[in-house]
Structure 1
Amino acid sequence: MEYIKHRLSAIYGDSDAQKIWTTLKEKLLKAKQTHYKDRKQRWDEKDLVLITYSDQFREEGKPTLATFEKVFDQYLADKFEIVHLLPFYPYSSDDGFSVIDYKKVNPIAGDWGDVASLSTKTRIMFDYVCNHISAKSEWFKEYIKGSPEYAHFFTEMDPDTDLSAVTRPRSTPVLTKFQMKDGTEKYIWTTFSEDQIDLNFKNPNVLLKMIEVLLFYIEHGAEYIRLDAVGFMWKEVGSTCIHLEKTHQIIKLFRDIVEEVAKGTVIITETNVPHKDNISYFGNGSDEAHMVYQFPLPPLVLYTINRGNGSALTSWARNLQPAGDETTFFNFLASHDGIGLNPIRGIIPEEEILALVSDLKEEGARVNYKNNPDGTQSPYEINVTYLDALNKREDDDQLRVKRFLSAHSILLTLQGVPAVYIQSILGSRNDHEGVVKTGMNRSINRQKYKLDDIVTELTKPSTLRSKVYRELTHIIQIRKAEALFHPDVPMEVLDKGERIFALKRGTGSGKNLTIIHNIANEQVELELSGQFVNVLTGEEMTFTDTITLDPYQFLWLKSSN
């Protein structure tokens, strides 16, 4: 384990690293002796992720994790191999991302026994909210009291310090004023809100505490670990305070640790930033994140279908470099957050981004803004369900489903591991009442349900929810059965004109898949010849010259020669 010690030295220098090394080494040796749940090594075509809250479904008098397990067993278990449980710990705000206690389960959700029960049915991704902790946490309360153990756990700053270079993901101030128990006032670094206090990783004891949390999660069944807001962990005045080298070193340390104690545990970095910065978290391909979120994908697919023009998506996808032998992309269209816009800046002209935002606002979407260094504001996130983002209020359900399925076919066929948000599989519309109730724009896509209500809608064939669920789960199951969708199988993006998004999956010899999407609301004709099996229907198809696709139609064609 000396290589882990060397990693510590790269972060803190030899002297400070030595101060925690003895304690850390003991913890790692103990962790290596622990019997963990067997972990799948790497990933394959069967791996699809469901993103959900632990309290997504509710029954009177029952822990919500138990209710979720019931829904999962009946409707989702044969579709998803992995469940990303959004933070299920006690929290004070931001729907879980302001964690009060990293090592407890929110009593509404249940207890660690409920987590363990679910982990017998599926692999679980834990959220590791490693950048910040709740202002209501014991750590911060002890800091306010002046407890020596928690001194320097948080970043204190003179309010007159020039922080104009700091990257701001929100419109709130960088620093928040707090009053200590002795009456003094201190200004503390709060990247996201006054209730989310950034941890000071310059203090080695903070890192040691957070490694304890990491090991605790592995012990309690985490097979995937999502590093939330990880790009902001290290602060240096005068810099952007995002993507700094010490941040990368800490992530590499986390990778070293999971490889040492529970190989097969997957580290995923959540960095809602432009593509170049995002993929930097792959490190050298074997020393940092196993997966990175493919953040340009949600806004690009939305822009593509809303404009009926696939040129930008085709150009972007053609320039994607393969992730590597030990890494892959984590692809998604919707999540508990909004649709981030920063990742497509530089891909889509700014005036086109602003036009897209304006169009979606007209249709009922909400928008969050960020402060720029020059004092202006820019939209950074559209808050909307993906179903409503793709459609207009007056569209009929048949058209809604067509657009929605076409978008998800793109998600399911691109190289990488796909993830589907619970609101998408449920065919959810915008929850405007939720926004009014909480005052948060993101609540528009975070609706929770009584179990009886959602079961009634899913089992009634005429409802939009039932149609979306049946159609989407159908193509998910077909995708899982096709080996050519293995994340390691090469992808070639084809140029078939601006109204088509097409790609090929295969090795160049033997069988391959040609996948074609009409992303326009009109029939499109394109050149294609050969003998194929339509994977979606099992039908044998022969084309000698051209084919015609209906609006939003997509084909998964497997070569039969």
Structure 2
Amino acid sequence: MTYPLKEKLLKQLQVIYEGVTLNDSVDAIADKLITQMALSDDAQGPTPFLNRWNESDIVMITYGDSIVNESEKPLVTLKQFIDSHLSNELSGVHILPFFPYSSDDGFSVLDYSSVNESLGDWQDISAISERYKLMADLVINHCSARSIWFENFIKGEGTGHNYFFTASPNDPLDKVVRPRTSPLLKPVTTKQGEQFVWCTFSHDQVDLDFSNPEVLIAFVGIIKQYLDAGVLIFRLDAIAFLWKEIGTSCINLPQTHEVVRLLRTLIECANENAIIITETNIPNIQNLAYFGNANEAHAIYNFSLPPLLIYSLISGDCQALKHWLMRMPPAQNGTCYFNFIASHDGIGLRPAEGLLSESEIGTMVNTMQSFGGLISWRTGEDGSQKPYEMNIALYDALKGTLDGPDKHQYQRFICAHSIMMSLEGIPGIYIHSLLGTENDYEKYNNTHHNRAINRHRWQSELLNEQLANPYSHHSKVLAGLKKLIAIRKQQNAFHPNATQFVLQLGPELFGVWRQCMNRSQSIFCVANITNKPLSLRLNELNLIETEQWHDLITGQHITDLNSEFALLPYQTIWLTNKNTGE
């Protein structure tokens, strides 16, 4: 059942601000939110369970300046690269924060209303959004300590002077959960005297106070501007930490979930095709909670996939990956998973808690370090230091096994993506995965930031030379992934919400069965996750004998369903009874 917009907002605002002393009534706040979005009180949401995605959706994750050319703006260079190399493969592009910033490669925002001049302007952003579904970050938990808002906080006047969350060092803060080891509170001298500002991530990233409705109203205005610029997918950055309440963990609080519901209400009324993706790098069960009752995030990042898949491929054992997938609920109508293996951040380890043992996580951490990776740490509940994420380029992370580097790096890398693309959900592929980019030690040494190792900046001329060389691994990786994408986009059984069953084929073969909505197409996706040849007994798949089966990747036809299919190290097959792309 749908409700007029204002009626629904009032219910949500009452939940968010229960117990909070407000200057305005919730009725007045609702009016301001509706005005910010240029909507009417009786606006209605979209048709229930509107189909916003399908098997053709593939999103590339990139910084605005991942590829540069001195003669033009990076956003222009980026669009030219996508148009030239990936226009047939990509449906969407996630441009990481493209605003003026002071640190953290864009996630410490100075001004939400402007495009970083070093990248381009709003016209360049719109040029990309006109051809591809544009995904943008709503850096909603915090902003830069050098922003106008925070300068006004110090002065005690002007927009932003009351936007920030403060606490006392004497408050009970021992339960607060954070992904960093830096001090939580930052002492700041203001016109009102010394205040201690909450900093979940760094002292240049000061947390906003959403118990003040003015902050919510300001961000709804920002959302409206992004919608007008063509943004269709909103990534809610670090959303789990949004609401703070002294004496609690200050993560995943009920008010945070209600804010997500409210933003979804407004965004859907403004554009029924727009969606929200929550970025919550937290244990799996907590992450799943951001689906709500199909009324919060349209999609959630599948954060447990990267560490589990990498562990499977370096250990030759996919048991943990299978057990996790078997416990994952199918996404409800109107929701889906956002699958990825690599991104601008490291490979998070918190989402592997309870899925891999501490010993297995430790072994993986040691292996990544031996492959040239770095480790970022957090402070555990008991005060000990625990690994938070592994910082390494995915191509290097898959250069070998627990026994060390080997000759199967390329095959292992392609295998990882073939598995990811076969799973329920929308695939998101980092630009440096598409290009097979390796660890950038020079950038790390220049910045001393662990994540810089996986944030290389390509010179376009050098990149084009590499891609034009059929013998370079960069060229091979791009060609190999483009082949998989081209096949995947045509198959109905790879719809993000198509049925998925995990196959029981032992620890060395990973497999899932996908079936499209009308059951006309099945695809059995099986991967050899070891560095040795293996055989798959086809009768274990229970293929229907009256149908013709063939591998979508190699084109090989199956003539005897009681035979064995020989799989090379890290080879994947997509066996189907029907190629819906023909």
Decide whether aligned partners of structure 1 residues 395 and 355 sit closer, same or farther in structure 2, where only a CA change above 3 A counts: closer
Question: CA-to-partner distance for each residue in 1:447-498, whole Å, 9 max, x for gaps?
Answer: 0111101111111111110111111111111111111101121001100011
Corresponding position of 2:187: 177
Deviations 1:327-356, CA, capped at 9 Å, x for gaps: 000000000000000001101111110111
Cα distance in 2 for residues equivalent to 1:345 and 1:226: 24
Give the length in aligned residue pairs.
Answer: 553
1:132-151 matches, cutoff 5 A: 132-147=142-157, 149-151=159-161
Q: Is the 8 A contact 2:154 2:161 kept in 1?
A: no
**Partner letter of residue 423 of structure 2?**
L
Partner of 1:535: 552
- 2:337 aligns with one of 313, 329, 336: 329
CA–CA distance in structure 1, aligned partners of residues 156 and 40 of structure 2? 32
Do structure 1's residue 512 and structure 2's residue 529 form an aligned pair?
no
Q: Which amino acid aligns with 1:124?
A: L
Q: Given the alignment of the two structures, is residue 459 of structure 1 paired with residue 468 of structure 2, yes or no?
A: yes
Aligned to 1:221: 230
Does the Cα contact within 8 Å between 2:130 and 2:230 map onto a contact in 1? no
In 2, Cα distance between equivalents of 1:515 and 1:23: 50
Given candidates 131, 136, 145, the residue that maps to 1:126 is 136
- Provide structure 1 residue ranges, at least 5 long, that are not aligned to the other structure: 35-39
Provide closer, same or farther for how the CA distance between residues 552 and 123 of structure 1 changes in structure 2, counting only shifts above 3 A. same
The 5-angstrom pairing of residues 421-440 of structure 1 reads 421-440=430-449
Residue in 2 that maps onto 1:355: 363
Residue 569 of structure 2 is aligned to residue 551 of structure 1:
yes
TM-score (norm 2): 0.92
Q: C-alpha offsets along residues 40-85 of structure 1, whole Å, 9 cap, x if unaligned?
A: 9510000000000011111114111011111111011111100000
Residue in 2 that maps onto 1:448: 457
| Number of the residue aligned with 2:207 | 198
CA contact (8 A) 2:314 2:400 kept: no
CA–CA distance in 1 between the matches of 2:526 and 2:465? 35
C-alpha contact 1:535 1:557 (8 A) present in aligned 2: yes
Distance apart, 1:30 and its partner CA: 4.8
Q: One-letter code of the match for 1:4?
A: L
CA-CA distance at 1:275 after TM superposition: 1.1
Q: Once structures 1 and 2 are overlaid, which stretch shifts more, 14-23 or 113-122? A: 14-23
Which AA in structure 2 matches 1:6? K
Amino acid at match of 2:176: V
Query: 2:422 is matched by which residue type in structure 1?
Result: T
**Which residue is equivalent to 1:11?**
16
Aligned partner of residue 474 in structure 1, secondary structure? helix
Which residue of structure 2 lines up, in the alignment, with residue 473 of structure 1? 482
Shift of 1:151: 3.5
- Offset at residue 158 of structure 1 (A): 1.1
Aligned equivalent of 2:46:
none
Kindly provide the amino acid, as one letter, of the partner of residue 213 in structure 1: I
Query: Map of 1:141-540 to 2, 5 A cutoff?
Result: 141-147=151-157, 149-181=159-191, 184-285=193-294, 287-392=295-400, 395=405, 399-506=408-515, 509-529=519-539, 531-540=548-557
- 8 Å Cα contact 1:368/1:383 also seen in 2: yes
Q: Give the partner amino acid of 1:9.
A: Q
For residues 60 and 373 of structure 2, what CA distance do their matches in structure 1 show?
24
Counterpart secondary structure, 1:454: helix
Normalised by the length of structure 1, the TM-score is 0.95
2:476, 2:177 → 1: CA distance? 42
Q: CA deviation at 1:537?
A: 2.8
Worse overlay, 500-509 or 433-442: 500-509
1:156 and 1:123, CA in 2 relative to 1: closer, same or farther beyond 3 A?
same
Segments of structure 2 that go 5 or more residues without pairing to the other structure are 44-49
Deviation at 1:536, TM superposition (A): 1.2
In the aligned structure 2, how far is the partner of 1:471 from the partner of 1:217? 34
Whether 1:70 and 2:88 are equivalent positions in the alignment is no
The 1:58–1:437 alpha-carbon spacing in structure 2 relative to 1, beyond 3 Å, is same
- Partner SS for 2:166: coil
Paired with 1:254 and 1:349, the residues of 2 have a C-alpha distance of 37
CA distance in 1, matches of 2:466, 2:389: 30
* Residue identity matched to 1:3: K
What is the rounded CA distance, in whole Å, between the counterparts of 1:150 and 1:493 in structure 2? 50
Indicate the SS of the match to 1:92.
Answer: strand
Greater mean deviation of Cα atoms: 9-18 or 547-556 = 9-18
8 Å contact kept, 1:45–1:480: yes
Q: 1:16 to 1:378 in 2, by over 3 A?
A: farther
Once residues 296 and 373 of structure 1 are traced to their aligned partners in structure 2, the CA distance between those partners, rounded to angstroms, is 21
Write the distance in 1 (CA, Å) between the matches of 2:550 and 2:509. 20
Check the 8 A contact 2:339/2:428 in 1, yes or no.
yes
Q: CA deviation at 1:392?
A: 3.9
Judge conservation of contact 1:170–1:192 (CA < 8 Å) in 2: yes
Change over 3 Å in CA distance of 1:62–1:560 after alignment to 2: closer
Q: Give runs of aligned pairs for residues 33-44 of structure 1, distance below 5 A.
A: 41-44=51-54
CA contact (8 A) 1:534 1:540 kept: yes
Work out the CA distance in 1 between the residues paired with 2:256 and 2:85: 40
Q: Classify 1:237/1:33 alpha carbon distance in 2 versus 1 (closer, same or farther; 3 Å).
A: closer
* 3-state secondary structure, aligned to 2:177: coil
Check the 8 A contact 2:148/2:160 in 1, yes or no.
Answer: no
CA contact (8 A) 1:32 1:260 kept: no
Local SS of the residue matching 1:487:
coil
Residue 58 of structure 2 contacts residue 428 of structure 2 at CA under 8 Å; is this kept in 1?
yes
Assess, with a 3 A threshold, how the Cα gap between structure 1 residues 511 and 22 changes in structure 2: closer, same or farther: closer
2:93 paired with 1:93: no
Q: Does 1:114 align with 2:128?
A: no
Please say which of residues 153-162 and 537-546 is displaced more in the overlay: 537-546
Q: Which amino acid aligns with 2:16?
A: I
- Contact 1:156 1:187 (8 Å CA) reproduced: yes
1:229–1:31 distance in 2 versus 1, CA, 3 Å: farther
Deviations 1:244-276 (A, max 9, x none): 000000000000001111111010000001111
Q: Which whole-Å CA distance do the structure 2 matches of 1:251 and 1:86 have between them? A: 20
2:512 maps to a residue whose letter is: L
**Cα distance between partner residues in 1 of 2:159 and 2:226:** 23
**Identity score, percent:** 39
Q: Deviations over 1:282-309 (max 9, x none)?
A: 0101x11000000000000000000001
Aligned residues of 1:16 and 1:204 also touching (Cα < 8 A):
no
Structure-2 separation of matches of 1:51 and 1:32? 36
1:147-177 deviation digits (Å, cap 9, x = unpaired): 1543431111111222110001111111111
> Aligned-pair distance for 1:112?
0.5
Q: Distance in 1 between matches of 2:451 and 2:30?
A: 41
Secondary structure of residue in 2 paired with 1:150: coil
8 Å contact from structure 1 (residues 367, 382) kept in 2? yes
Distance (Å, rounded) in 1 between the aligned partners of 2:490 and 2:131: 19
Q: Helix, strand or coil for the counterpart of 2:280?
A: coil
**What root-mean-square deviation, in Å, do the aligned CA atoms of Structure 1 and Structure 2 show?**
1.9
